[in-house]
Amino acid sequence: MAQELWPNGSPPGGDSRLVAHIASIRRQLTEALAASPDSGGGRLTGADLLVSTPAGYRLDNSGGVLDLRQFEQHVGAGYRAMAAGDAARAAERLGHALSLWSGDALQDMEQGAVLRTHTKRLNEARMAALEQWAATELQLGRHRERLAALGELAARHRTHQGLQRHYMTALLRCGRPGEALRVHDRLRAALRREGGVEVSPELRRLRDRILIAPAGPGGAVPDFAAPRLEFAG
């Protein structure tokens, strides 16, 4: 906590200021517990959750559920299902994990170096789970059911090449190659604006396949296979 508050070293009186911060946090926790129907009849206080130890302070959830732990448990189960070749189970558990998020980690907090490192790790774990969830959904042939969701993800994460590739694949399998090519071109332009990064070899190959694929009966495009399911644990 001291490193987060004062990355260049604790100022004079820093210890007493830290104690004051702890007291404020404990008061807010006590108020939240008193307003919660699941707080054990008001027996718990902030001091029960933010515990003093010889080394400093420790957060004790007192048997409660932490969304971060739930996320990690669901993601772990999803990755294990992927490793076992069970795409349906993987999609289910990854979907549960992602449903716990409502935005970026700690997005409303002012962050120093310590928290920025922590939140970067959390957000990277979320993005990895999102990409793997999209891959499993396509593996299960749910391109039509997930097309809108993949479009929203592609719009929100304009330079994430894995999500853009999955969205392109879903569009192709829905018979919309022209839109898939526009997704590729938007991604390439966005990457160049942000530092000159080129699209991945997988995306280039996918674009080439679209351009050379002959139309089927009635102008339909041929079926494009879903991305190969890969374990990323």
- Given this model, what pLDDT does residue 14 score? 85
- Given this model, what pLDDT does residue 131 score? 96
- Cβ–Cβ < 8 Å for 173, 134: no
Query: Sorting pLDDT into bands at 50, 70 and 90, what band is 13?
Result: confident
CA–CA distance, 91 with 75 (Å, rounded to integer): 10
Residue 221 DSSP symbol = P
Q: Is the pLDDT of residue 63 over 90?
A: no
Over residues 181-197, mean pLDDT: 93
Q: Where in the chain is CATH 1.25.40.10?
A: 67-219
Over residues 68-93, mean pLDDT: 96
What digits encode the pLDDT tens for the residues 102-155? 888 888 888 888 889 999 999 999 999 999 999 999 999 999 999 999 999 999
- Given this model, what pLDDT does residue 40 score? 57
Over residues 20-45, mean pLDDT: 83
Q: Is the pLDDT of residue 158 over 70?
A: yes
Residues in the chain: 233
Query: Sorting pLDDT into bands at 50, 70 and 90, what band is 96?
Result: very high
Which among 73, 77, 87 has a CA at the least distance from the CA of 230? 87
| Fold topology of 67-219 | 1.25.40
Residue 227 DSSP symbol = P
Average pLDDT, the chain: 87
Which among 23, 4, 201, 13 has a CA at the least distance from the CA of 113? 4
* Environment class of 63 (CB within 10 Å of its CB; exposed 0-12, middle 13-18, buried 19+): exposed
Query: Sorting pLDDT into bands at 50, 70 and 90, what band is 202?
Result: very high
Q: Is the pLDDT of residue 180 over 90?
A: yes
CA–CA distance, 33 with 117 (Å, rounded to integer): 29
pTM of the model: 0.79
Q: Is the pLDDT of residue 221 over 70?
A: no
Q: Is the pLDDT of residue 7 over 90?
A: no
Query: Sorting pLDDT into bands at 50, 70 and 90, what band is 34?
Result: confident
